Amino acid sequence: MNHGGGASFSPERLKAPLLIAAPLLLPLWGPGLSWLHALVPLAVAYHLVILGGRQGNGAVVKALLLAGLVALLSGELLLYLFGLTMVPLGYILAHAIQRRDSATWTGLKGLAYLVVLWLLLGAYAGMSGAPSPLQMVHESIDHALTAGGLGEPELAAALEGLRDFVNRVWPALFAISLIGLIWLNLLTSHWLLRRKELSPWPDLRLWRMPDHFVAVAALALLFLLLRIEPLATIGLNGVLLMGILYFMQGLGVMSYLMAYWNLPPLLRGVCYALVLLQGYGMMLLALLGMAEVRLNLRRRLQLKYPSA
């Protein structure tokens, strides 16, 4: 791979701008593909690391110009600009990978950028009089739940309760969506770069949260059980947020155990599907992640079978 940025031409340099532009271009075909914007940081970070500074930056610029031209001609410039906000996150991830920062520190950097970005978008919306991004998401959920219950009194009452629940926990849902975006890009970047021996992280299956976060989860649960507002709402949001973090740790434990037992790939895929497609499986993994703080299964297996 040419890292010097010379005049040589390679297929990698030809396809790189197209691959980077793909998650920006495909959403222009319809709003149902807007979720592909979540892959923009991955595409940017991967090619910046693989191609090096000059070639990587050149590929990113060409991709942005190509996607911008298509967006301008198709009249979807606003959608393109939203996808463009994901590009700096790709640079943050690439810089952290090249500096060989830890996965946790890399994720915190990316999360800080997303929080600042949404705060700025919210401030701009407030000054311009337009609804903020959070209000738009909130109202779209509210409208969908309300519309679904028209004509059915029992269903309408159930959806009204669900809407009230969403109204209480939208801060946690928003934070979980940001964490999920960072987590998706970290895992996929590690998987792709590990094949080229460029990932700075030895094995994300060994990742664990700081042990003192158990106290935060316990305090959130206490607030929830007190049933005194607004402490109960704060506790509910805290329980959901800590739950997704411990779910991620539990998923790492599960992945480590399946690798330790040397399960075939097909069986591993079935196990992942069973866990991720039902709420009880995710809850059990969150409990497993919390239990890992005390049981320390992965560490014990490493000490007992260091060559496994």
Q: Residues 200-221: pLDDT tens digits?
A: 887 788 888 888 888 999 999 9
pLDDT at 108: 92
Residue carrying structure tokens 């590990």: 194
Residue 147 scores a pLDDT above 70:
no
Helix axes 53-74, 40-51, angle to 10 degrees: 150
CA–CA gap between residue 17 and residue 56 (Å, rounded): 9
Taking CA atoms, 220 is separated from 170, 192, 213, 279, in Å, by 16, 37, 11, 20
Q: Quote the radius of gyration of the chain (alpha carbons, Å).
A: 22
Overall average pLDDT of the 80-98 stretch: 92
CA–CA gap between residue 21 and residue 43 (Å, rounded): 8
Q: pLDDT tens-digit profile of 28-85?
A: 887 678 888 999 999 999 999 998 878 889 999 999 999 999 999 888 888 888 889 9
Q: How far apart are the first and last CA of the chain?
A: 33
Contact predicate 228/264, CB 8 Å: no
Residue carrying structure tokens 């939203």: 82
Which comes out higher in pLDDT, residue 237 or 2?
Answer: 237
Residue type, 170: W
Average pLDDT, the chain: 83
Share above pLDDT 70 across residues of the chain, in percent, rounded to a whole number: 83
Residue type, 287: L
Reported confidence tier of residue 6, pLDDT bands at 50, 70, 90: very low
Share above pLDDT 90 across residues of the chain, in percent, rounded to a whole number: 35
Buried b (16+ CB within 10 A) or exposed e, 79-111: bbebbbbbbbbbbbbbebbeeebebeebbebbb
Q: Let me know how many helices (H) and strands (E) the chain has, helices first.
A: 13, 0
CA–CA gap between residue 56 and residue 73 (Å, rounded): 26
Residue 7 scores a pLDDT above 50:
no
Show the tokens assigned to 270.
């079935």
